[in-house]
């Protein structure tokens, strides 16, 4: 039976992912802060789940997760990084602690597990002379695409997770690692204030709508998918393209003069007042319900 680690598994999306993986036949090692939430997830799944409580940004926690997967279940096949926190505030009012906490949990929390899991898989590849089965599913957010105004810390961390995933996909491909990113819309305790209360009847933003893509990326079909970014919610899976060159300018003499540069750039930047241009809003209308508004 394959073995998966899921972080942030105490509630919300992490719990849904852990439950779906267990139902699909995975043995799961689950992380969250110590408390009833993580224990309830483990109890609901049953004997094929083990809890490893702790601060996910701590190196020792990641070491324990990988060691528990190997010692308890005999290996590690899939890493699902989901743990996160919010400390929303406008950037001019954000405290040092609010910045550090969010970047630490999201970005460092993704790094330490990735670092130790990929080292494990690299060792296996060298020992066996062939790549092992190795999957990473990381969790970013559309906040990094939109530059969410009140979430400078969160958007920055989520953008960093995308870059970390791409570097991992490139650097660890020879060791069998397939690393991808999901940007889920899911109504959870962490996002409830943004998304509002659920509607009567089926919730299009229920975390369970995200799990089929996680299972696909974690499974054998994910072997041909790496270094990709997906937006997922409800019945929607959107594959993002890489950034493109919007416009290119070339100095006549090879060296820009202030006048020539002004003349070139003024053909593009014509709005007054200006608005941020390096944003992606194409994901917003993919469904009738979106982040925080209909």
The residues assigned a catalytic role are 141, 154, 158
C-alpha to C-alpha distance for 211 and 223, rounded to whole angstroms: 18
Question: For the chain, how far is it from start to end, CA to CA, in angstroms?
Answer: 42
Q: What count of other Cβ atoms lies within 10 Å of the Cβ of residue 194?
A: 17
C-alpha to C-alpha distance for 154 and 161, rounded to whole angstroms: 11
Q: What count of other Cβ atoms lies within 10 Å of the Cβ of residue 148?
A: 19
How would you write the chain as a 3-class SS string? Answer: CCEEEEECCCCHHHHHHHHHHHHCCCEEEEECCCCHHHHHHHHHHCCCEEECCCCCCCHHHHHHHHHHHHHHHCCCCEEECCCCCCCCECCCCCCHHHHHHHHHHHHHHHHHHHHHHHHHHHHHHHHHCCCCCEEEEEECCCHHHHCCCCEHHHHHHHHHHHHHHHHHHHHCHHHCEEEEEEEECCCCCCCHHHHCCCCCCCCCCCHHHCHHHHHHHHCHHHHHCCCCEEEEECCEEEECCCCCCCCCCCCCCCCCCHHHHHHHHCCCCCCCCCCCCCCCCCCHHHCCCCCCCC
Helices 96-103 and 152-171 pack at an angle, to 10 degrees, of 30
What tokens does 10 get? 């105490």
C-alpha to C-alpha distance for 51 and 276, rounded to whole angstroms: 44
């Amino acid at each position: 039976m394959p073995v998966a680690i899921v972080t942030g598994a105490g509630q919300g999306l992490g719990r849904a992912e852990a439950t779906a993986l267990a139902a699909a036949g995975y043995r799961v090692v689950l992380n969250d802060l110590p408390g009833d939430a993580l224990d309830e997830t483990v109890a609901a799944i049953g004997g094929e789940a083990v809890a490893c409580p702790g601060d996910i940004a701590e190196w020792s926690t990641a070491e324990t997760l990988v060691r528990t997967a190997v010692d308890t279940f005999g290996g590690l096949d899939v890493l699902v990084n989901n743990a996160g926190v919010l400390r929303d505030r406008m950037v001019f009012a954000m405290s040092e602690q609010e910045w550090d906490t969010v970047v630490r949990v999201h970005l460092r929390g993704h790094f330490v597990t990735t670092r130790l899991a990929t080292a494990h898989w690299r060792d296996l590849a060298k020992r066996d002379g062939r790549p092992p089965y190795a999957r990473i599913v990381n969790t970013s957010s559309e906040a990094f695409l939109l530059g969410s105004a009140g979430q400078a810390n969160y958007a920055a961390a989520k953008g960093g997770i995308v870059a970390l995933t791409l570097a991992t996909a490139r650097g660890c491909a020879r060791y069998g690692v397939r690393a991808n990113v999901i940007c889920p819309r899911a109504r959870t305790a962490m996002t409830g204030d943004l998304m509002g209360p659920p509607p009567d009847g089926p919730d299009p933003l229920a975390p369970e709508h995200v799990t089929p893509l996680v299972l696909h990326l974690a499974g054998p079909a994910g072997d041909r998918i790496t270094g990709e970014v997906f937006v997922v919610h409800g019945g929607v899976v959107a594959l993002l393209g890489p950034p493109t060159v919007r416009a290119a300018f070339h100095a006549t003499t090879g060296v820009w003069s202030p006048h020539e540069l002004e003349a070139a750039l003024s053909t593009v930047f014509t709005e007054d007042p200006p608005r941020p241009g390096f944003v992606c809003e194409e994901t917003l209308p993919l469904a009738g319900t979106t982040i925080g508004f209909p």
